[in-house]
């Protein structure tokens, strides 16, 4: 798989983390991949062949060519049906709220068609992205679309924004009680604000960010001991690490290590 990452225009950088493309060479045999939760919602445009989704119940669902993937709280298994050509718009954890009228929480673990999200405008941007001849053209189209929809840039609560920054800086290693203390807001209010703006609780987002940090350590470092990796990422013990790992990837760390890890991380927006 070949992937490239592009930064958003400064007008959208508060909301959009990055754009990226994923392409496969012609004739390459399609394989299943696991999208691991990363705390970011994504607009996905398949200008190549569509993808199938394999839910836990064993069924097979053909995904729309263009859709939003809501916040994930569990692994999301997908499989290309042919040649991959995909353009992603990856939002910051709190970045998609200003662009939707549908409650964020309602989109959890769901692929939402752009027509449902944006009506006729959604169908129009689909066609523009799918028919574009280059990544730069796709980026220009989506940035114009998003800027035009950005009627209220202040919709996200400042406490949510600052708490998300704290979680990211700490790699998800702070407790909700500590986050509540730092923001000077009670735990219940913080959870309610997060659910509305992000679709995840502070605990869920922290768990997701901490696991992503561990996965990146597996990919980029020589890891000699899973126990050391668990303690390095501030898990209570190896059992706690394995429990969170399996919840978010569907596999134990040992099962996940290797080519499966590398393919899964391709689906995460890395900067």
C-alpha torsion angle, residues 54, 83, 132, 72 (rounded to 10): 20
User: What is the model's pTM?
Assistant: 0.91
2-149 belongs to which homologous superfamily?
Jelly Rolls (2.60.120.10)
- 2-149 and 158-266 agree in CATH topology: no
Domain residue ranges of the chain, discontinuous segments joined by +: 2-149, 158-266
Which segments of the chain have a pLDDT < 70?
27, 29-30, 153, 222, 257-271
Q: What is the structure's pLDDT at 262?
A: 54
pLDDT digits (tens, 9 = 90+) for 1-11: 788 999 999 99
Q: Report helix, strand and coil shares of the chain as percent, to nearest 5.
A: 45, 15, 40
pLDDT at 269: 45
Residue 235 three-state SS: coil
Among the four given CATH numbers 3.40.30.10, 1.10.10.60, 3.40.50.620, 3.40.50.300, the one describing domain 158-266: 1.10.10.60
Q: Both tokens of residue 32?
A: 């299943």
Closest by CA position to 113, among listed 69, 152, 79: 69
Q: What is the pLDDT of residue 270?
A: 47
């Amino acid at each position: 798989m070949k992937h490239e990452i592009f930064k958003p225009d400064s007008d959208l950088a508060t909301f959009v983390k990055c754009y990226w493309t994923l392409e496969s060479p012609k004739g390459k045999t399609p394989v299943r991949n696991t999208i691991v939760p990363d705390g970011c919602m994504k607009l996905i445009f398949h200008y190549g062949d569509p993808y199938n989704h394999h839910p836990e119940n064993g069924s097979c669902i053909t995904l729309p060519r263009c859709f939003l993937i809501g916040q994930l709280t569990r692994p999301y298994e997908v499989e290309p049906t042919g040649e991959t050509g995909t353009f992603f718009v990856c939002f910051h954890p709190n970045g998609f709220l200003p662009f939707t009228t549908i409650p964020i929480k309602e989109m959890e673990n769901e692929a939402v068609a752009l027509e449902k999200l944006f009506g006729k405008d959604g169908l129009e941007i689909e066609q523009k992205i799918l028919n574009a001849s280059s990544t730069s053209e796709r980026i220009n189209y989506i940035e114009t679309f998003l800027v035009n929809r950005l009627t209220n840039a202040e919709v996200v609560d400042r406490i949510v924004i600052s708490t998300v920054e704290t979680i990211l800086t700490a790699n998800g290693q702070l407790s909700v009680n500590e986050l509540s203390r730092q923001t000077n807001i009670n735990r219940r209010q913080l959870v309610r604000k997060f659910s509305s703006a992000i679709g995840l609780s502070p605990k869920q987002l922290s768990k997701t960010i901490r696991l992503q940090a561990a996965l990146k350590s597996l990919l980029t470092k020589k890891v000699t001991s899973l126990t050391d990796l668990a303690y390095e990422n501030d898990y209570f013990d190896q059992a706690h690490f394995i429990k969170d790992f399996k919840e978010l990837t569907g596999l134990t760390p040992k099962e996940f290590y290797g080519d499966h890890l590398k393919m899964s991380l391709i689906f995460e927006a890395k900067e």
